[in-house]
Amino acid sequence: MYNIDMDSLDLEKTYDLVVLGGGPTAIACAIYAARFALDVLIVGKIFGGLIATTDIVENYPGITSTSGQGLMEMFKDHMNSLNIPYITDEIRSIENAGDYYVLHSFFQKFKAKSICIATGSERRKLGIPGEAEFAGKGVSYCATCDGPFYIDKVVCIIGGSDSAAKEALFLAQNVRKVFIIYRKEEIRAEPINKKKVYENEKIEIINNTNVVEIVGKTNVERVIFDNGKELEVDGVFIEIGSIPNSEIAQRIGVKTSEKREIIINRKSETNISGIFAAGDVADAPFKQAITGVAEGVIAAYSAFDYLKEVKIEY
Choose between 220 and 293: whose C-beta lies nearer to another protein.
220
The end-to-end CA distance of the chain, in Å, is: 26
Should residue 107 be labelled a site residue for another protein when binding is judged by CB under 8 A? yes
Site for another protein contains 192 (CB under 8 A): no
164: which residues sit within 8 A by CB, 6+ positions away?
157, 158, 180, 182, 187, 189, 239, 240
Annotation says 145 is catalytic: yes
d(CA 276, CA 29): 10
Cβ proximity to another protein, 97 vs 145, nearer residue: 145
Question: 104: part of which helix (H) or strand (E)?
Answer: strand 101-105
- Stated as kind and residue range, the H or E segment containing 298 is helix 289-309
Nearest Cα residue to 52 out of 70, 75, 78, 79: 70
Asked if 215 is part of the footprint of another protein (rule: CB under 8 A), the reply reads no
Catalytic annotation present for 142: yes
Rounded Cα distance, 276 and 18, in Å: 10
Tell me: does residue 3 bind another protein (CB under 8 A): yes
Backbone angles phi, psi at 124, to 5 degrees: -80, 140
- Binds another protein by CB under 8 A, chosen from 52, 57, 248, 298: 52
Among 1, 227, 266, 311, contact with another protein (rule: CB under 8 A): 1
The reply on whether position 146 binds another protein by CB under 8 A is yes
Q: x-or-dash pattern for another protein, window 225-244, by CB under 8 A? A: ----------x---------
In sequence order, the 6+-apart residues with CB closer than 8 A to the CB of 27 are: 42, 75, 76, 78, 79, 84, 296
Residue among 69, 96, 200, 210 that touches another protein (CB under 8 A) = 69
Minimal distance, residue 244 CB to another protein, in Å? 16
d(CA 101, CA 164): 39
288 binds another protein (CB under 8 A): no
By CB under 8 A, residue 144 contacts another protein: yes
> Is residue 216 near another protein by the rule CB under 8 A?
no
Least distance CB 275 / another protein (angstroms): 22
Which listed range, 1-9, 238-246, 255-263, 285-293, lies at the site for another protein (CB under 8 A)?
1-9
Given candidates 48, 130, 274, 279, which one binds another protein under the rule CB under 8 A?
Answer: 48
* Closer residue to another protein, CB minimum distance, 47 or 100: 47
Return the amino acid letter for 176. R
Binding range to another protein, per CB under 8 A, among 134-142, 203-211, 248-256, 257-265: 134-142
How far is it between the farthest Cα atoms of the chain? 66
Note whether 142 binds another protein by CB under 8 A.
yes
Shortest distance, position 164 Cβ to another protein, whole Å: 18
Dist CA 90 CA 130 (whole Å): 30
Q: Return phi, psi of residue 168, to 5°.
A: -60, -45
Query: 194-230 burial string, b = 16+ CB within 10 Å, else e?
Result: bebbeeeebbebeeebebeebbbeeebbbbbbeeeee
Part of the chain binding another protein (CB under 8 A), chosen from 99-107, 179-187, 190-198, 223-231: 99-107
Write down the catalytic residue from 5, 145, 226, 305.
145
Q: Which residues are catalytic?
A: 142, 145-146
The site for another protein (CB under 8 A) is made up of 1-4, 6-7, 9, 45-48, 52-53, 68-70, 72-73, 76, 87-90, 92, 105-108, 135-142, 144-149, 218-219, 235
